[in-house]
A = this chain, B = another copy of it.
Amino acid sequence: MKAEIIAVGSELLTPDRVDTNSLFLTEELNKLGIEVVRKSVVGDNRDDLSATFHEALEHVELVIASGGLGPTEDDLTRETVADLLGRKLQLNKEILQYIEGRFRQLGREMPAVNVRQAMVPEGAEVLENPRGSAPGLWIEDSGHKIALLPGPPRELKPMFYEQVLPRLQRFASSVRMFHRELRVAGMGESALEQRIKPIYTRYADVNTTILAAPGEIQIHLRIWTDDGAHAQKTLDEIVQSFQLALTDRIFSLDGSPLEEVVARILTMNGATISAAESCTGGLLAQRLTSIAGSSSYFLGGVVCYSNELKTAWADVPTEIIKTKGAVSSEVAIALADGIRRRVGSTLGVGITGIAGPGGGSEEKPVGTVHVAVSHAGGVKERGARFPGDREAVRWYAAQLALDMVRIHFLYNGGEPPSRGSNRS
């Protein structure tokens, strides 16, 4: 089966918006053996919308659209598709009651405009939206399947899993896509390419994509086949070869982000963590606490921008700041040690640096960062000079800190080593 994806919304035709729903949808469709042959972005304009749906239906069996299901005048997907298929819109009382109920729960009355969201083309199936007021629609028409989904990803994704996927599985072919995502930190794209190219070029039936993301590289392996056992065996083989080639630089074998991997490691080791951040301004704490259940390992953190607070909150000696400067390996170490002792956590992380755009000097240019990880048996510190803007430098610094925590456990299994040899 072939599919087209249509993203609806004039805001997606501006220079500052990009449609990302289609990436999620493509991944899920590929898993079912459905190939995406075209993606379109079209504005909230009846003629353009109608032409785009019309043309898609001429070429493929399955059309999935996102957006344009809201309650306002410029949300035209419902009406346009009904028109195109020659179907009338009918008021669906159940949906209306559901939307009214949602507003009641929030202590508000339903505005009159929301009635539009309860209008359903004749013969369409309603896809419930427990996370928003706009229901989705599933329409089958002369051999075509059309799914109309809401634009916000947090509404679209669960609706796809709960409502669209079961319907698509009825049409799925025996050829499926098998996929692995590995993630690598602390290594450049070309160095990585050099190490793994001799491996993946041996597998002609495997599609390998190497994608550089901020502070990490993502490696995607994909096989399209009807032989699942062979696919899994081949993928296992490649992953094992990659592990030999990249050793501890691979932090994820299942596409999990670094904070999730670190959360798992901390939980597995029954360890706790605290953070004293300067240039990252809370980004490390925010990433560590973005994982559900983080209160079991993340005890607390401080964001100490000023020198006074570095001393008041993490006991950084004022002499060190005076003699070495606030951005120095010594201050990073003192922050890590200080916060760990204050909080009583297994590990303490200290980060100090210059995120820019101001504050750089010849000796310590923008991008200079020091990160330390302290434990009862010692402390590890690393300095780096990161490229890019403020956002990039802060992200790289948090990424380095998380990776240092991961490496800590990788080499001593959660036990503090007997020697604190790395302490300066």
A41 touching B42, Cβ below 8 Å: no
Given contacts A194-B111, A305-B299, contact A283 B286 (CB under 8 A): yes
A74→B209 CA distance, assembly (Å): 7
B44 touching A209, Cβ below 8 Å: yes
A182 vs chain B, min Cβ distance (A): 12
**Which has the most chain B C-beta neighbours within 10 Å: A14, A52, A191, A207?**
A14
Q: Does A341 lie at the interface of the complex (its beta carbon under 8 Å from any beta carbon of B)? A: no
- When all copies of this chain in the complex are counted, the total is 2
A190→B115 CA distance, assembly (Å): 11
Given contacts A189-B71, A300-B309, A300-B313, contact A38 B15 (CB under 8 A): no
| Chain B neighbourhood of A37, CB < 8 A | 13, 42-43, 45, 48
Within 8 A of B (CB), among A19-58: 19-20, 23-24, 26-27, 30, 36-45, 48, 51-52, 55, 58
| Chain B neighbourhood of A208, CB < 8 A | 74
- Say which residue of B14, B74, B283, B302 sits within 8 Å of A26 (CB atoms): B14
Q: Does A229 lie at the interface of the complex (its beta carbon under 8 Å from any beta carbon of B)? A: no
A89→B359 CA distance, assembly (Å): 43
Q: Does A284 lie at the interface of the complex (its beta carbon under 8 Å from any beta carbon of B)? A: yes
Given contacts A71-B193, A289-B305, contact A15 B30 (CB under 8 A): yes
B210 touching A74, Cβ below 8 Å: yes
- Say which residue of B40, B211, B304 sits within 8 Å of A38 (CB atoms): B40
| Chain B neighbourhood of A226, CB < 8 A | none
Closest to A24 in B: B15
Within 8 A of B (CB), among A180-213: 188-191, 193-194, 197, 201, 207-212
B295 touching A305, Cβ below 8 Å: yes
A302 touching B305, Cβ below 8 Å: no
A148→B283 CA distance, assembly (Å): 34
A306 touching B302, Cβ below 8 Å: no
Q: Does A420 lie at the interface of the complex (its beta carbon under 8 Å from any beta carbon of B)? A: no
Query: Which of the candidate stretches A165-173, A230-238, A327-335, A385-393 sits at the interface with the other chain?
Result: A385-393
Residue-wise interface mask of A (3-14) relative to B, using a CB-CB cutoff of 8 A (1 in contact, 0 not):
000000111011
Given contacts A26-B15, A358-B292, contact A131 B388 (CB under 8 A): yes
| Chain B neighbourhood of A152, CB < 8 A | 212
| Chain B neighbourhood of A191, CB < 8 A | 108, 111
Residue-wise interface mask of A (362-401) relative to B, using a CB-CB cutoff of 8 A (1 in contact, 0 not):
0000000000000000000000000111111010000000
**Which has the most chain B C-beta neighbours within 10 Å: A282, A293, A294?**
A282
- Say which residue of B15, B17, B211 sits within 8 Å of A16 (CB atoms): B211
Q: Does A264 lie at the interface of the complex (its beta carbon under 8 Å from any beta carbon of B)? A: no
A317 vs chain B, min Cβ distance (A): 18
Q: Does A251 lie at the interface of the complex (its beta carbon under 8 Å from any beta carbon of B)? A: no
**Which has the most chain B C-beta neighbours within 10 Å: A11, A20, A304, A342?**
A11
A288 touching B292, Cβ below 8 Å: no
| Chain B neighbourhood of A222, CB < 8 A | 14
B211 touching A11, Cβ below 8 Å: yes
A38 touching B42, Cβ below 8 Å: yes
**Which has the most chain B C-beta neighbours within 10 Å: A41, A293, A343?**
A41
Given contacts A13-B39, A15-B24, contact A303 B281 (CB under 8 A): no
Q: Please name the 10 residue pairs, one residue from A and one from B, whose CB atoms are nearest each other, closest first.
A: A281-B289, A282-B285, A282-B282, A15-B27, A111-B190, A282-B286, A301-B303, A300-B309, A39-B41, A285-B303
**Apart from the given pairs A110-B190, A290-B394, 17 other A-B contacts in the complex at a CB distance below 8 Å:** A11-B218, A13-B26, A13-B38, A16-B218, A38-B42, A39-B41, A74-B209, A111-B194, A131-B387, A133-B190, A277-B282, A282-B303, A283-B286, A292-B390, A299-B305, A300-B303, A302-B313
Listed by A's residue number, 21 A-B pairs whose Cβ atoms lie within 8 Å are: A10-B207, A14-B26, A14-B207, A15-B27, A15-B30, A18-B20, A40-B40, A72-B210, A110-B190, A112-B194, A113-B194, A114-B190, A154-B392, A277-B282, A281-B286, A282-B289, A285-B285, A292-B357, A295-B305, A300-B302, A312-B342
